[in-house]
Amino acid sequence: MSARDSTPDAAPIRVLLVDDQQMVRAGFRMLLGSQPDLEVVGEAGNGEEALRVLAATGADVVLMDVRMPVMDGVEATGRIAADEEAPRVIVLTTFDLDEYAFAALRAGASAFLLKDAPPEDLLRAIRSVHAGDAVVAPSTTRRLLDHFTAALPAEPRPPAAEDERLRWLTERELEVLVLIGRGRSNSEIAEELVVAEATVKTHVGRLLAKTQCRDRVQLVILAYETALVTAS
Protein backbone atom coordinates (compact mmCIF):
# COMPACT_ATOMS: atom_id res chain seq x y z
CA MET A 1 0.00 0.00 0.00
CA SER A 2 1.27 3.49 -0.82
CA ALA A 3 2.28 5.65 2.12
CA ARG A 4 -0.02 8.31 0.73
CA ASP A 5 -3.09 6.26 -0.17
CA SER A 6 -5.23 8.10 2.36
CA THR A 7 -6.66 11.53 1.61
CA PRO A 8 -7.35 14.29 4.12
CA ASP A 9 -11.12 13.84 3.64
CA ALA A 10 -11.09 10.06 4.02
CA ALA A 11 -8.65 9.44 6.86
CA PRO A 12 -6.28 11.27 9.20
CA ILE A 13 -2.65 11.81 8.26
CA ARG A 14 -0.66 8.93 9.75
CA VAL A 15 2.47 10.05 11.60
CA LEU A 16 5.47 8.05 12.88
CA LEU A 17 7.47 9.61 15.73
CA VAL A 18 11.22 8.90 15.77
CA ASP A 19 13.28 10.30 18.67
CA ASP A 20 15.57 8.69 21.21
CA GLN A 21 13.97 10.69 24.03
CA GLN A 22 10.73 9.17 25.22
CA MET A 23 9.55 12.43 26.79
CA VAL A 24 9.95 14.23 23.48
CA ARG A 25 7.88 11.58 21.73
CA ALA A 26 5.24 11.81 24.46
CA GLY A 27 4.98 15.56 23.93
CA PHE A 28 4.57 15.18 20.19
CA ARG A 29 2.00 12.42 20.68
CA MET A 30 -0.10 14.65 22.95
CA LEU A 31 0.05 17.52 20.47
CA LEU A 32 -0.82 15.42 17.44
CA GLY A 33 -3.48 13.51 19.35
CA SER A 34 -5.36 16.75 19.89
CA GLN A 35 -5.83 17.17 16.12
CA PRO A 36 -8.72 15.32 14.43
CA ASP A 37 -6.87 15.06 11.11
CA LEU A 38 -3.66 13.60 12.57
CA GLU A 39 -2.97 10.13 13.97
CA VAL A 40 0.23 8.79 15.57
CA VAL A 41 0.62 5.24 14.23
CA GLY A 42 3.93 4.35 15.87
CA GLU A 43 7.06 5.41 17.72
CA ALA A 44 10.75 4.53 17.48
CA GLY A 45 13.85 5.39 19.48
CA ASN A 46 16.36 5.19 16.61
CA GLY A 47 16.51 4.93 12.83
CA GLU A 48 16.81 1.16 12.71
CA GLU A 49 13.72 0.72 14.85
CA ALA A 50 11.93 3.34 12.73
CA LEU A 51 12.45 1.28 9.57
CA ARG A 52 11.00 -1.81 11.28
CA VAL A 53 7.98 0.08 12.65
CA LEU A 54 7.40 1.81 9.31
CA ALA A 55 7.43 -1.52 7.48
CA ALA A 56 4.81 -2.86 9.89
CA THR A 57 2.49 0.13 10.23
CA GLY A 58 3.04 2.44 7.27
CA ALA A 59 2.84 6.20 7.65
CA ASP A 60 2.26 9.34 5.62
CA VAL A 61 4.73 11.54 7.51
CA VAL A 62 7.75 10.73 9.70
CA LEU A 63 8.94 13.14 12.38
CA MET A 64 12.64 12.27 12.41
CA ASP A 65 15.21 13.25 15.01
CA VAL A 66 18.74 13.22 13.59
CA ARG A 67 21.06 12.52 16.50
CA MET A 68 20.19 9.00 17.67
CA PRO A 69 22.07 5.82 18.61
CA VAL A 70 22.24 2.62 16.50
CA MET A 71 21.17 4.39 13.28
CA ASP A 72 20.93 8.17 13.03
CA GLY A 73 18.21 10.10 11.24
CA VAL A 74 20.33 10.80 8.18
CA GLU A 75 20.80 7.15 7.25
CA ALA A 76 17.21 6.34 8.13
CA THR A 77 15.94 9.22 5.99
CA GLY A 78 18.03 8.09 3.04
CA ARG A 79 16.68 4.55 3.28
CA ILE A 80 13.10 5.77 3.56
CA ALA A 81 13.43 8.24 0.67
CA ALA A 82 14.84 5.52 -1.62
CA ASP A 83 11.32 4.08 -1.91
CA GLU A 84 9.13 5.82 -4.51
CA GLU A 85 6.10 5.34 -2.24
CA ALA A 86 7.96 6.59 0.82
CA PRO A 87 6.34 8.81 3.42
CA ARG A 88 7.50 12.41 3.75
CA VAL A 89 10.19 13.00 6.35
CA ILE A 90 10.33 16.06 8.60
CA VAL A 91 13.76 16.54 10.17
CA LEU A 92 13.70 17.76 13.76
CA THR A 93 16.81 19.08 15.45
CA THR A 94 17.79 21.06 18.52
CA PHE A 95 20.29 23.22 16.64
CA ASP A 96 19.63 25.55 13.73
CA LEU A 97 21.49 24.23 10.68
CA ASP A 98 22.68 21.15 12.49
CA GLU A 99 25.12 19.27 10.22
CA TYR A 100 23.03 16.14 10.52
CA ALA A 101 19.82 17.94 9.62
CA PHE A 102 21.49 19.43 6.54
CA ALA A 103 22.63 15.96 5.48
CA ALA A 104 19.13 14.59 6.04
CA LEU A 105 17.70 17.21 3.68
CA ARG A 106 20.13 16.06 1.03
CA ALA A 107 19.14 12.48 1.76
CA GLY A 108 15.51 13.24 0.90
CA ALA A 109 13.81 14.91 3.85
CA SER A 110 11.02 17.33 2.94
CA ALA A 111 11.24 19.67 5.92
CA PHE A 112 13.65 21.10 8.44
CA LEU A 113 12.32 22.31 11.79
CA LEU A 114 13.73 23.10 15.20
CA LYS A 115 12.32 21.06 18.08
CA ASP A 116 11.35 24.25 19.88
CA ALA A 117 9.31 25.53 16.94
CA PRO A 118 5.80 26.69 17.95
CA PRO A 119 3.25 23.84 17.92
CA GLU A 120 1.29 25.50 15.12
CA ASP A 121 4.43 25.49 12.94
CA LEU A 122 4.91 21.76 13.45
CA LEU A 123 1.26 21.01 12.70
CA ARG A 124 1.39 23.19 9.60
CA ALA A 125 4.56 21.44 8.46
CA ILE A 126 2.98 17.99 8.77
CA ARG A 127 -0.02 19.03 6.73
CA SER A 128 2.12 20.86 4.16
CA VAL A 129 4.56 18.03 3.46
CA HIS A 130 1.67 15.57 3.29
CA ALA A 131 0.20 17.79 0.58
CA GLY A 132 3.50 17.63 -1.31
CA ASP A 133 5.13 20.88 -0.25
CA ALA A 134 8.53 21.36 1.36
CA VAL A 135 9.03 23.29 4.56
CA VAL A 136 12.19 25.25 5.29
CA ALA A 137 11.78 28.62 6.96
CA PRO A 138 12.93 31.47 4.67
CA SER A 139 15.42 32.71 7.28
CA THR A 140 16.93 29.24 7.43
CA THR A 141 16.89 28.70 3.66
CA ARG A 142 19.55 31.34 2.98
CA ARG A 143 21.94 29.93 5.58
CA LEU A 144 21.14 26.40 4.50
CA LEU A 145 22.10 27.19 0.92
CA ASP A 146 25.26 29.00 1.98
CA HIS A 147 26.14 25.93 4.02
CA PHE A 148 25.39 23.70 1.05
CA THR A 149 27.62 25.59 -1.36
CA ALA A 150 30.46 25.55 1.15
CA ALA A 151 30.26 21.76 1.10
CA LEU A 152 30.48 21.50 -2.69
CA PRO A 153 33.71 20.23 -4.29
CA ALA A 154 36.25 22.92 -5.11
CA GLU A 155 36.77 21.73 -8.68
CA PRO A 156 34.73 23.47 -11.41
CA ARG A 157 31.37 21.93 -12.19
CA PRO A 158 30.19 21.36 -15.77
CA PRO A 159 27.83 23.96 -17.24
CA ALA A 160 24.16 23.44 -16.45
CA ALA A 161 23.48 22.79 -20.13
CA GLU A 162 25.57 19.62 -19.89
CA ASP A 163 23.71 18.20 -16.90
CA GLU A 164 21.38 15.38 -17.91
CA ARG A 165 18.88 16.29 -15.18
CA LEU A 166 18.17 19.63 -16.89
CA ARG A 167 18.14 18.35 -20.45
CA TRP A 168 14.37 18.42 -20.99
CA LEU A 169 13.57 21.65 -19.18
CA THR A 170 12.15 24.58 -21.11
CA GLU A 171 13.65 28.06 -20.82
CA ARG A 172 10.78 29.13 -18.55
CA GLU A 173 11.19 26.07 -16.35
CA LEU A 174 14.88 26.87 -15.96
CA GLU A 175 13.94 30.41 -14.92
CA VAL A 176 11.57 29.05 -12.30
CA LEU A 177 14.21 26.60 -11.07
CA VAL A 178 16.71 29.42 -10.63
CA LEU A 179 14.21 31.41 -8.56
CA ILE A 180 13.35 28.37 -6.46
CA GLY A 181 17.08 27.93 -5.87
CA ARG A 182 17.22 31.49 -4.62
CA GLY A 183 14.58 30.71 -2.03
CA ARG A 184 11.64 32.47 -3.68
CA SER A 185 8.07 31.43 -2.85
CA ASN A 186 5.50 30.73 -5.58
CA SER A 187 3.92 34.14 -5.09
CA GLU A 188 7.31 35.86 -5.32
CA ILE A 189 8.16 33.92 -8.48
CA ALA A 190 4.79 34.86 -9.99
CA GLU A 191 5.42 38.52 -9.25
CA GLU A 192 8.94 38.47 -10.68
CA LEU A 193 7.93 36.65 -13.89
CA VAL A 194 4.63 38.55 -14.15
CA VAL A 195 2.50 35.40 -14.37
CA ALA A 196 -0.32 33.91 -12.30
CA GLU A 197 0.63 31.93 -9.20
CA ALA A 198 -1.29 28.97 -10.63
CA THR A 199 1.05 29.07 -13.63
CA VAL A 200 4.06 28.92 -11.30
CA LYS A 201 2.56 25.90 -9.53
CA THR A 202 2.20 24.20 -12.92
CA HIS A 203 5.85 24.89 -13.72
CA VAL A 204 6.93 23.56 -10.32
CA GLY A 205 4.94 20.38 -10.90
CA ARG A 206 6.60 19.87 -14.27
CA LEU A 207 10.03 20.54 -12.77
CA LEU A 208 9.45 17.88 -10.13
CA ALA A 209 8.31 15.38 -12.75
CA LYS A 210 11.10 16.06 -15.24
CA THR A 211 13.95 16.17 -12.74
CA GLN A 212 12.51 13.38 -10.55
CA CYS A 213 13.00 15.55 -7.48
CA ARG A 214 10.81 14.67 -4.50
CA ASP A 215 9.97 18.22 -3.51
CA ARG A 216 11.02 21.85 -3.43
CA VAL A 217 14.01 21.26 -1.15
CA GLN A 218 15.45 18.83 -3.69
CA LEU A 219 14.89 21.38 -6.47
CA VAL A 220 16.88 23.94 -4.48
CA ILE A 221 19.75 21.50 -4.08
CA LEU A 222 19.58 20.64 -7.79
CA ALA A 223 19.87 24.32 -8.71
CA TYR A 224 23.08 24.55 -6.67
CA GLU A 225 24.55 21.24 -7.78
CA THR A 226 24.15 22.23 -11.44
CA ALA A 227 25.54 25.74 -10.83
CA LEU A 228 22.33 27.42 -11.99
CA VAL A 229 22.54 29.27 -8.68
CA THR A 230 25.71 30.14 -6.80
CA ALA A 231 26.40 31.61 -3.37
CA SER A 232 27.74 34.85 -4.80
List Cβ neighbours of 96 (8 Å cut-off, separation of 6 or more).
Answer: 114, 140, 143
Rounded to an integer, the average pLDDT of 94-101 is 67
Backbone phi, psi, residue 196, to 5°: -75, 150
More confident residue, 223 or 194: 194
* 37-84 pLDDT, tens digit each: 999 999 999 999 999 999 999 899 999 998 888 998 889 999 998 887
What predicted TM-score, i.e. pTM, was given to this entire model? Answer: 0.68
* 158-202 pLDDT, tens digit each: 555 567 788 889 999 999 999 888 878 788 899 999 999 899 989
* pLDDT score, position 183: 74
Per DSSP, 92 falls in state: E
